[in-house]
Amino acid sequence: MVAKRVSIFGATGSIGQNTIDLIRRDRPGYNIVALSGGRNIAQLACDAIDLQADIAITAFEDLLEPLRVALTGTGIEAAAGQTALIEAASRPVDWVMSAIVGIAGLLPGLKALEQGATLALANKESLVCAGALLKETASKHNARILPVDSEHSAIFQALVGEDITEVERIIITASGGAFRDWPLERLKTATLAQASSHPNWDMGQRITIDSASMFNKALEVIETKEFFGVDPTQIEVLVHPQSLVHALVGFKDGALMSHLGAPDMRHAIGYALHWPQRKDLPVQRLDLGTAPALEFYAPDLERYPALRLSYEVMSKGGLSGAAFNGAKERVLDHFIAGRIGFLDMASLVETVLEQADAQTGLIETAMSLDNVMRTDHFARTEVDRIVSTSTTYK
């Protein structure tokens, strides 16, 4: 068997570590080209050595020296910074895990597609900001994008052998995050520590907070439109506290196909890693006889304004997704820094979306990398300007 050449971007994060866990179980099947990380040099170096990667890259140039030291005598290249990341993403491989958090994952993903790799996409932000660009790049280079988000992997699996034109609706589920049962009044007081703990999934801090605010689900609604090309009116969200049903696909004959599984990202990662085959995965098998009762209910859009905004973003189209994501990433920075409250995040994003709309040529313009980055920059700068000039915030 020929070993699969693999690179993992965001290798030190939650998705990256789950990917490495699967690869380590079947070590001879893989040839690791590049691993990238951020500040956790010890983890990055340890995995690079263990997996005998060709190159390890940290996103931060000031950490090049510690990474070099950690890799001394191993023959593994050490590199740092954006240019090095792009160079590594341009090295030919068969499969790339895109698991950097935020828009920083966009360019490495595009580079991976340009060299024809299969892109396993956990980095939903890149699809939200630049869906058309990613898809165009994939088709131009005969590359493929596979979903890794659990809901989108579930939809993808429910669609095997089906015709997308026969799909009536797609339902993605949401656990409801840390504040599922909190009334609106109480949400105003939600702290960083409270928002950073998820009832069902063990994930990176940013996506965990985005789950509590439903910004994560908002991104996923847009991700559903981009991945499967359905109309926004066909996409529904249901709160499902048990996180066992990940998505459902409804067909025009009324049939509803659902995907169930334990809340373990190794399922979706493993499906993308082995696709189009299925292989044994170390995930818990569900025993529905003893599982808790499955509940579903419609989300309260007043408590979760992010969800309402995602439909506005889709109806505006253009580069609205880039403005939405850029503003969302920046308000999250401010919430984490303690400058704004939990509910301020959605109201600030809404304000910035209105401002972006009012700028000629910002949203309604051609989808190109430069334009995406310009819109992202505008949204971030506007968030910063409002937060620093308003007396409402600290």
Under the rule (CB under 5 A), what is the footprint of Mg ion?
A: 149-151
Q: Measured at CB, which residue is nearest to ligand NAD?
A: 13
Q: Which of 5, 6, 7, 14 binds ligand NAD (CB under 6 A)?
A: 14
Geometric angle at alpha carbon 10, from 7 and 16, rounded to 5° = 80
Asked whether the beta carbons of 329 and 106 are under 8 A apart, the reply is no
Q: Which does residue 5 bind out of ligand NAD, Mg ion, none, counting CB within 5 to 8 angstroms by kind?
A: none
Build a one-symbol-per-residue string for 259-288: x at contacts with ligand NAD by CB under 6 A, - elsewhere. ------x-----------------------
Q: Interacting stretch for ligand NAD, rule CB under 6 A, among 14-22, 87-95, 275-283, 362-370? A: 14-22
DSSP string, 156-213: HHHTTT--GGGEEEEEEEE--GGGTT--HHHHTT--HHHHT--SS----HHHHHHHHH
DSSP string, 263-317: S-THHHHHHHHHTTS------PPP-TTTSPPP--B---TTT-HHHHHHHHHHHH-
Neighbour-count burial of 39, counting CB atoms closer than 10 A to its CB (0-12 exposed, 13-18 middle, 19+ buried) = middle
Q: Interacting stretch for ligand NAD, rule CB under 6 A, among 87-95, 97-105, 181-189, 343-351? A: 97-105
Report 198-227 residues binding ligand NAD (CB under 6 A): 201, 203-204, 206-207
- In angstroms, what is the minimal distance from the CB of 222 to Mg ion? 12
| Residue 61 CB neighbour total at 10 angstroms | 13
Q: Which does residue 12 bind out of Mg ion, ligand NAD, none, counting CB within 5 to 8 angstroms by kind?
A: ligand NAD
Q: Which is nearer to Mg ion, 43 or 175 (CB)?
A: 175
- In angstroms, what is the minimal distance from the CB of 143 to Mg ion? 23
DSSP bridge pairs for 171: 236, 248
For tokens 């991700």, the residue is 223
Q: Which is nearer to ligand NAD, 99 or 119 (CB)?
A: 99
Q: Which is nearer to ligand NAD, 283 or 393 (CB)?
A: 283
Helix (H, G, I), strand (E, B) or coil at 258: strand
Build a one-symbol-per-residue string for 115-154: x at contacts with ligand NAD by CB under 6 A, - elsewhere. -------xxxx-----------------------x-----
Residues 243-271 as b/e (b if ≥16 CB within 10 A, e otherwise) read: bbbbbbbbbeeeeebbbebebbbbbbbbb
Q: Which is nearer to ligand NAD, 220 or 382 (CB)?
A: 220
Told to check if 376 binds ligand NAD by CB under 6 A, we report no
Closest CA to 194 of 178, 210, 176, 205: 178
- In angstroms, what is the minimal distance from the CB of 57 to ligand NAD? 9
- In angstroms, what is the minimal distance from the CB of 101 to ligand NAD? 4
Build a one-symbol-per-residue string for 162-201: x at contacts with ligand NAD by CB under 6 A, - elsewhere. ---------------------------------------x
DSSP 8-state assignment for residue 241? T
For tokens 């009832």, the residue is 199
The whole-angstrom distance between residue 285's C-alpha and the CA centroid of its chain comes to 25
Q: Which is nearer to ligand NAD, 269 or 362 (CB)?
A: 269
For tokens 């491989």, the residue is 93
CA separation, residue 103 to residues 128, 199, 309, 329 (Å): 9, 26, 19, 9
Told to check if 241 binds ligand NAD by CB under 6 A, we report no
Q: Which of 76, 79, 88, 101 binds ligand NAD (CB under 6 A)?
A: 101
Q: Which does residue 356 bind out of Mg ion, ligand NAD, none, counting CB within 5 to 8 angstroms by kind?
A: none
DSSP 8-state assignment for residue 31? E
Asked whether the beta carbons of 211 and 260 are under 8 A apart, the reply is no
Q: Which is nearer to Mg ion, 198 or 380 (CB)?
A: 198
Q: Which residues bind ligand NAD (CB under 6 A)?
A: 10-16, 37-38, 59, 99-101, 104, 122-125, 149, 201, 203-204, 206-207, 265
